[in-house]
Structure 1
C-alpha cells in the first residue's frame, strides 16, 4: 500500500513512497546513465504511459554516510516543485536500496555543453545564470540550501535549449527546520566551495573565525559558475589544492585579458558581488536577480521575472 504525505511549502504536491512490488510493476529499468560512488542513475519507462523518467538507485550497504545523504535528498525533493529544479515522482525503500524516481532531463549536462563550446557569450551566460538564480531563490525561499552547485549538477531539459536548465542532485542539500538549525557540515566541490565552509576545516590554522555558514554559500558557487561560463576556465585553479583553497579563503582571483577585456562591467561587477569573501556582504540570489547585468538582458531578451 503506498503512503503519501504533503511536504512543507509544497502546496498540494504529494511525495509518494511506493513498495518494491509497485516499483517493479510501474517502471521498467533501462540503460545506465551515470555511476557514482554508491549510486547509479538509470533511464526507466513508465509501463502504463511509455513516458521516460530517471531512477537514482542508491546502495547504502557499504557506505555509512549514504543513508544521511539519501535522507537529505528526499527531504529536499519533498519540497521542490520549480521549473528550474528537477522534481521527484516517487521513491521506494527496500532493505539497503533506495530508488528515487525523478523527471528525465533530455538535454546536455552543463559541464559537457561548456566543454564543447569552450566559453559562452554574455547573453548565453545571462540566460543560464538567470535560470540558476530563479531555481536557487526558490530553494532558499523554501529553506533549502543546496551546498553543491556546480556545472556537473546542472542539465538542460531539452537538447540545445539553454532556457530549460534544471538544477540536479540534492544529496548535499539541507532543509533548515528553524532558527536553531545551523550549518556546519563540510561539503561541496573544491573549485566551487565558499570560503566560510573552508574556514570550518582550515580556520584554526589560518587564523580565521569559525562560525556556522548560511544560504550565502550557494551565491558564492553561482559566482564561480558564472565566471566559468564566460571565461571557460575557473576563477580559482591550482594543481596544489591547498594553494587553491588559500586563494578562495582570501578571495583572490583576477580577470585576465582573454576574454575579460571584452566583457561588460555589469558582468564583472556581478561576479565580484557574488565572490565576496564576507558572506554578510555577499550579494544574495534575490538581489542578484535585480542586478544591472540580469536586468539588462532581461529587458533585451525578455527573461522572465523572479519566481
Structure 2
C-alpha cells in the first residue's frame, strides 16, 4: 500500500505535537465530536486511525470527562487482539487526537442491519472474541460499562492476528489486513475473515481489585439491571451487555424493549428473558442456556466472562453445522 501515499501526498498533513509523525490520508468517519482519519506512520511503516475530537463541541461535563477518560483507562490495559489500542494521544487547547488501531469503518451493528440475523456458528466466533476482550479488561480491573454492537468494530483477518513488532516499552502492537477499508461486505463464505475489536472506553472505569462502580452509565437496551438500582455494581455488568449483544446477533432485535427509555428500563429490571419460537426455533439449547446465564438478573449468579468462555456452547463449537431458521 506504500504506493498510495504518493498519490495522497498533496492532501496529507502531519499530526503536530506527536512524538511520531503521522500522515493523514483520508477521512473515514465522522461523529458528534469530531472526525476519524486513516493515517500512516513512516517510522512504523503501518497504518492507524486518528480520532480528532473538537473540544469546542464538548459543552456537557460528562462528555468532557469521557474525553479524558478513554486514554487514561486504556493506559491500564496491555495490548489485546480484540481491544482497540490507543497508541498515542496528542492534547491541545482546541482538540484531542487519539492514534488508535485501524478498523473497517463499519461496526457489528452495521452487519446486523445488513444481515438481520447471523448464523449461530458465526455468532459463536464473535462471542469468543468479545468475551476474550471482556475477560482481558476485567483481569486488569477495568469495567467497560457500554458494550453494544456500535462499539464493536470490524477488522479483516480477525482469525489471523499477528503481532507486528514491539514498541519502546516492549509491548507489541497488533495489525490486521486493512486493504479492504471502505469496501462492501464480502460474500457469505468470506464473513469468517472478519474479527472484532472492542472500542470506546469513554464510559469505562478502573475498579482495581474488588472495587465497585456507581452511576447510571451505558445504553438503555444493553444496561444491566443493577446499574439502574442506584447502588454500587461490579464488572459483571459487562457480561450482561455482552449477552444482549449475543441475543441481538441471533434474533435481530433486543431482548428488552419499550416505547420509551423508561419502558425499556422497566423491562430490563424485570429481566423476563424470552426466546420466541419463530426466531429461536433453530437455535441450539446450549446457546439459549448461555444467554440465560449471562442475561441473569441476579448478578451473584451471573457468569463471569472467564466462566462464559468455558461454557459448553463456546467450548464445543457453538451450534456448528446448524443454521438459524428465517
Structure 2: how far apart are the matches of 1:137 and 1:76? Answer: 15
Contact 1:128 1:162 in 2 (8 A): no
Q: 1:184 aligns with which of 203, 206, 214?
A: 214
TM-score, with structure 1 as normaliser: 0.81
Q: CA deviation digits over 1:261-283, x for unaligned, max 9? A: 12111100110111111111111
Q: CA deviation digits over 1:34-89, x for unaligned, max 9? A: 33332332222224465321111123334233332122211222133101111121
Structure 2: how far apart are the matches of 1:285 and 1:260? Answer: 23
Q: 2:239 aligns with which of 192, 202, 219?
A: 219
Aligned to 1:67: 64
Aligned to 2:116: 118
TM-score, with structure 2 as normaliser: 0.77
Aligned to 1:36: 31
User: CA 1:234/1:299 → structure 2, altered by over 3 Å: closer, same or farther?
Assistant: closer
Q: CA deviation digits over 1:171-193, x for unaligned, max 9? A: 111122455x5311211111101
Query: Alignment partner of 1:157: what SS?
Result: strand
Determine whether 1:136 maps to 2:131.
no
Q: CA deviation digits over 1:191-216, x for unaligned, max 9? A: 1011111222xxxxxxxxxx201101
Aligned to 1:26: 21
Pairing 1:103-114 to 2, within 5 Å after superposition: 103-106=101-104, 108-114=106-112
User: Which of structures 1 and 2 has the larger relative contact order (alpha carbons within 8 angstroms, sep 6+)?
Assistant: 2
Q: 1:167 aligns with which of 198, 206, 216?
A: 198
Shift of 1:108: 3.8
Aligned to 1:263: 283
Shift of 1:25: 7.0
Structure 2: how far apart are the matches of 1:48 and 1:289? Answer: 38
Stretch deviating more after TM superposition (103-112 or 133-142): 103-112
User: CA 1:131/1:49 → structure 2, altered by over 3 Å: closer, same or farther?
Assistant: closer
Structure 2: how far apart are the matches of 1:163 and 1:44? Answer: 22
Q: CA deviation digits over 1:115-157, x for unaligned, max 9? A: 1111111111111011101010000001110111011111222
Shift of 1:20: 6.3
Structure 1: how far apart are the matches of 2:124 and 2:107? Answer: 17
Structure 1: how far apart are the matches of 2:216 and 2:127? Answer: 25
Query: Structure 1 stretches of 5 or more lacking a match?
Result: 1-18, 201-210, 302-307
Query: Structure 2 stretches of 5 or more lacking a match?
Result: 1-13, 157-179, 181-190, 322-326
Aligned to 2:165: none
Query: Alignment partner of 2:23: what SS?
Result: strand
Shift of 1:96: 3.6
Contact 1:127 1:163 in 2 (8 A): no
Shift of 1:23: 3.0
Query: Alignment partner of 2:247: what SS?
Result: helix
Structure 1: how far apart are the matches of 2:154 and 2:193? Answer: 6
Count of matched residue pairs: 272
Query: Alignment partner of 1:187: what SS?
Result: coil
Contact 1:156 1:162 in 2 (8 A): no
Aligned to 2:186: none
